[in-house]
A and B are shown apart, each in its own frame.
Chain A
Amino acid sequence: MAGEAAIINAAARTSLWLQPHRIVLILIALGLVLAAAFFMRWDWLPQYYAAGLLGIWRALWILAVTCVLGFLLAVPLGLAQAAGPFWFAAPAKVFCTIIRGTPLLLQLWLLYYGLGSLFPQYPWIRESWMWPYLRQAWPYGVLALTLSFAGYEGEVMRGAFAGVPKGQIEAARAFGMSRWKAFRRIWLPQAFYRALPTLTGETVLQLKSTPLVATISVIDIFAVSSKVRQDTYLTYEPLLLLALIYMAITGILVFAFGRIEARIPNKIG
């Protein structure tokens, strides 16, 4: 019975969504896509297929690493601002303000060209084990994106930590939990649930800033499309495909976070 009802419900929703004007619009969109497929040049696709996949993989990898590291950094930042003493909260606040007040492109170039040009002057750095990494571009890209994500997310976590009702933490302490245990079991999960919807948006924003690393010669999907444009003198085709790829990734991200959000207990606060 329940299954049938669900099917009928879904059918009703589809018929509501598929109004006549929508069908016309979809047909027009399909026509545009077909026109693009037939009248534009796509013969370069097989040649750059492998490079493109590698580029997508790199972009996703950078996205995942910077989001996880940035979030780990954001938790202490948020905590320091929400509950820390002044000498702890002030540096965190200054850090967040600076990161949020300057363009990411500038931060990236500052780290890569600025810091990167300083290192070779010191022989002990050149001889250390870090040098092979410091000579490449991607550590700077990852560092800049991580710091940026931490800066924005630290502000979100501050609000989330401050938003957890005091009674919850007091109750945890009254149960005899240690401060650390109360933080781990009560405060952090509740703050995380509160921050999750914002986290979705921040992750999508982070995805949209990953192409910036192409400007410091990291070969991600954006750099691949630029290379195609230089090699074939085509302007629009690679860019259109690139836009489509990013839209697909965004859609998947939003869907995945929606699933996670649906799993969390929704009666908080």
Chain B
Amino acid sequence: MVGLLHTIEIAIGATCLGLLIGIGGAYGKLYGGPVVRDLLAVYTTVVRAVPELVLILLLYYAGTDLINQVLAAVGYQRIDISGLAAGIAVLGFVQGAYSTEVIRGAILAIPQGQIEAARAYGMSPGLLLRRITLPAMLPFAIPGLANLWLIATKDTALLAVVGFYELTLATRQAAGVTKAYLTFYLAAGAIYLLVTLVSNLIIGRIEARARRGMPSLKEAR
């Protein structure tokens, strides 16, 4: 059960971090200067082309090592980075690349006039982002972001490989101790499935709310 809690914590943390990176990345890709745009293009391409497992290993070791070296250079003692924080950071970094693309597409789908009108009203960029861009892009972004959330819950299983104690690793240990492999793996599968199905319900609600006032998909077809 601790494993399940860790799984959900990481998934939520990684998705939130990924969303922040995604919003920043999408803004950079759309409105940034040429250098920022190229760097972001490299970031999203590389992260989406390399297997998550390899990225997790690379970032997990490189990230902790880097932080420790920086701390040592500044003169602090080495710290042990908790698996939770490292897991969230690594998965968030991966999720950020995907959500950058989703959010960029969603912002492009907003009718241009809405943003121009907001600018004409003299809104500051921050206010514009908060009041117009984010709410207006939400209905376009939610299907993609929902997929990302589901991927995040399943990607947490990969952290078992670097030895982080979450649902899959907990299952493996429990199964190894009791020798009842099939039972434990089936149970863990059921738990993951349950998480997915419950999230689907919640996402449906959120999407219905975000789309309020818009023509429904069935009518538009």
Contacts and interface: CB of A to CB of B under 8 A. Distances in A.
Does A associate with B in a complex? Answer: yes
Interface of A: 19, 21-22, 25, 97-98, 100-107, 109-110, 113-118, 204, 207-212, 215, 222, 235-236, 239-240, 242-243, 246-247, 250-251
Contact of B193 (A101, A240, A247): A101
B120 interface: no
Interface string B30-46: 00001100110000001
B95 to A, nearest CB: 14
A106 B34 contact: no
29 contacts: A21-B34, A21-B35, A22-B38, A25-B38, A98-B189, A98-B193, A100-B196, A101-B192, A101-B196, A102-B192, A106-B188, A106-B189, A106-B192, A113-B185, A114-B181, A114-B182, A115-B182, A118-B182, A209-B51, A222-B51, A222-B53, A235-B61, A236-B58, A236-B61, A239-B61, A240-B58, A247-B49, A250-B49, A251-B49
A214 to B, nearest CB: 8
A196 B51 CA distance: 22
B181 A113 contact: yes
Interface residues of chain B: helix, strand, loop or mixed (majority): helix
Contact of B189 (A110, A211, A250): A110
Which 9 pairs, one residue from A and one from B, show the smallest C-beta to C-beta distance? A103-B157, A110-B185, A101-B196, A208-B51, A114-B182, A103-B154, A101-B193, A250-B49, A105-B157
A110 B65 CA distance: 33
- Residue of A98, A208, A235 most packed against chain B (CB within 10 A): A208
A61 to B, nearest CB: 17
Nearest to A112: B181
Contact of B160 (A97, A105, A222, A240): A105
